[in-house]
Amino acid sequence: MKTIDDLGDLRGKRVLVRSDFNVPLDGTTITDDGRIRAALPTLTRLLDAGARVVVTAHLGRPTGEPDPKYSLAPVQARLSELLGKPVALAEDVVGPSAQATVAALGDGEIALLENIRFDARETSKDEAERGALADELAALADAFVSDGFGVVHRKQASVYDVALRLPHAAGSLVLTEVQALRKATENPERPYVVVLGGAKVSDKLGVIANLLTKADTLLIGGGMVYTFLAAQGHEVGSSLLEADQVDTVRGYLEEAGDKIVLPVDIVAADGFAADAPHEIVDADAIPAGKMGLDIGPRSGELFAKAILGAKTIAWNGPMGVFEFPAFAAGTKAVAQALVDTEGFSIVGGGDSAAAVRLLGFDEAGFGHISTGGGASLELLEGKTLPGIAVLED
């Protein structure tokens, strides 16, 4: 992939940057600005080079039309604070306000276009529709820098099609992400351990199938583990269960042998609530009516031991409902082991990255924390990502 250096002298040039500013909000308050901070190195580099920086990004899932609830105004305010300089915000995506805002930029100044998903063409399956939007985006710039790793698995106008229309390069975030994840997937130093959690096993079937041929050990936790336990014939009470995936999971267990490691104990609660009464039970003895909300302490020790003995570790998905302190210990045990290991560790974005921050860990303690849960999962699955492929000339 070309880098920003390959774009030559950028002073006075308009550079369109696709960032990922899909941050969690409480009303208009950003509750985790990790993705905004991750964009700073590329934006600062371009601004210092005298470029006129035009950022496009999305937030949430608007229905292809303007929705104040998903405005990038909170992002504009936080980005201004972090950069220490004003960030202009256009009132539309590629319309009159966007055109005027970009035209008003001076060298070393920055503007943010309104939420790209306010335009339905961004996510259209119709190439002509996406192409029309990409044409309008390209008209606002002289070069394109892709730096929104969280969207590179999407074939969308601002991710894929615009790169076909402008001189393009990968930003530092995308370069770092791809290098780190390929280090873990293409030729990992062994033992290679993958920790998978999160709610649904159906979201990770492709990843599991791919990793069974590549990883040495798969540690399974989170809501998805109850489908594995059910596949072994165990009672899972009222825990999260995807009954339609039990046969598939049983097949994976038969194929994997001892490569898949499941929890040996579970924190079982009376219901889904932060203050729900709970007890630690054996993983094969969850009482009827009880709901598993975390792996137990013996499982935490078991998983930590496997992580500490590995040379490469990838983690995607929390071990329990880490947002509730009573059910955060399993996720905390995995995170602490990743900090303590001498191996190379990757935290695969999404809820895992949020857990690291919520539980108070220093991000510097991990080998790499991804900003893209879906994109990192698809790389682990061995898929070709459109937003990366289009940058590889």
Give catalytic residues, as residue numbers: 35, 200, 350, 374
The dihedral built from the CA positions of residue 86, 122, 204 and 274, taken in this order, carries a sign that is positive
Q: Is residue 313 a contact partner of residue 185, using CB atoms and an 8 Å limit?
A: no
Closest CA to 16 of 46, 56, 50: 56
- Bridge partners, residue 11, by sequence: none
CB burial of residue 315 (10 Å; 0-12, 13-18, 19+):
buried
CA 80 to chain centre: 23
The dihedral built from the CA positions of residue 241, 242, 244 and 245, taken in this order, carries a sign that is negative
Pairing status of strand 14-18 against strand 52-56? parallel
* Exposure letters 190-219 (e unless 16+ CB within 10 A, then b): ebbbbbbbbbebebbbebbebbbeebbbbb
